[in-house]
Structure 1
Amino acid sequence: IQKELAQDQLKPQINLVAGYMISGLAGVMVDRQNPFAELSRLQIERLNELSRMAGLAPLPPVTGFGRVPEHLRGGYGTALSTVFEGRFPTLYAGLQLEWFARNRAAEAQLAQSNLAQRRLEVQTRQLEQLIEAQVRNALQALEVARQRIQAAEASVRAAKEKLDSEIRLFQTGESTNFMVLTRQNEYADSQRRLLAAQSDYNKAVVQLEQAVGTLLDRFGVQVAWRP
């Protein structure tokens, strides 16, 4: 997202600008003589005098420069009333173009975004290689544990056969208590080795499920990610 934003900042920007406002206008009349009206009156009187000398009709009288409307006469309250009445609305619209030949800030941000993206790609590859190595090691440990179970099961069967044979010899008087106890200890040791091999196999299964990401699903554990 930051990379796309930096790339967009290097492009020209065209913005649509529009607005609407209402202005308030009012003022107090100043009771003094208008200098422009007085100047015009003197000029008209001079022209009328020349017109009489020439036998011409006089000019029509000047009534002034107009009158101020009543709604514009007043103080601050009158100005506010013109605002609420909406007497002077203004609507404007236009296009705003922004373009920088060399937006160095955006270029620097784009370079940083590209660098961060490459760093993220390297970290992703390293993580993938680490997961691949963990899965490979877990599979190897699982295979070794399976072979140990097979060997331990064969050892248990052999120790059991020796124990049974030694018991039969003892019953016929061809063996001693010491030999029977020895065969019993061998049989018990083979069973302990089988249990150890089965435990290592279960650990290898857990390590494999952890490496491939299925361990939590096996136990029905769900992780809720918060935005």
Structure 2
Amino acid sequence: MLINKLEQNRNINFFLNKIYHLLLSEKFSKKINFDFDKRNRIDLIKYIIEKKNYKNYLEIGCHKNEVFDKINIEKIGVDPVSGGNYRGFSDDFFRENKKSFDCIFIDGLHEYDQVKRDIVNSIKILNRDGMIILHDCLPPSINHQRVPRTRYTWNGDVWKAIVETRTWEHVDTYTVLADQGLGVIKNNPNTNKLDLKNNSFKNLKYKFFYENYNKIMRTITYEEFLKII
């Protein structure tokens, strides 16, 4: 009964959010047919860990432990509801944490403000030569990226945080064409800085993403990325 009630409430919220977007949000109907590699985030993370001989791992957002259970090195998983081994929000974890990590996977709340905080906080504790991986960076339609959320299959606006990191000097960012878009942030100086004069990345439009995603996201195939790890 509780699960049914939660689902009912979620569907009501989706309906109300759709009305909000219908009245107040950007209108754009074109879609992107991404040619995603069949390999997924688990494959990439495990390959990176083995290739770089990483010793420890942090995961932000551990729904059902789909990824967390597959990682076989020292690990911490952060989630306020289920999975992992730290029950709480990522902001709380970062305030309390004293450790540094080789590999960090961010798959928590898919909204720009939270994603940016998770990226900034992760960079602070990322070991030299470490990497951050993010899920859901390439929404195929405006409905997949709308915030507040209107559907079950949803990427959110993670992409806006990736675009912002592309403009930073101190990290090198790519987006791998696999598994709904896998953002990868390497802990070394930016080798292809995005020159984008924007004071509010949160307000970037999906139309802009649609027209420029290859450049602003620095998209790269799975195979191409394996060659530069």
Q: TM-score, normalised by structure 1?
A: 0.16
Task: Identify the structure with the greater strand proportion.
Answer: 2
Query: Does 1 or 2 have the higher relative contact order (CA < 8 Å, sep 6+)?
Result: 1
Greater C-alpha radius of gyration? 1
Q: TM-score, normalised by structure 2?
A: 0.16
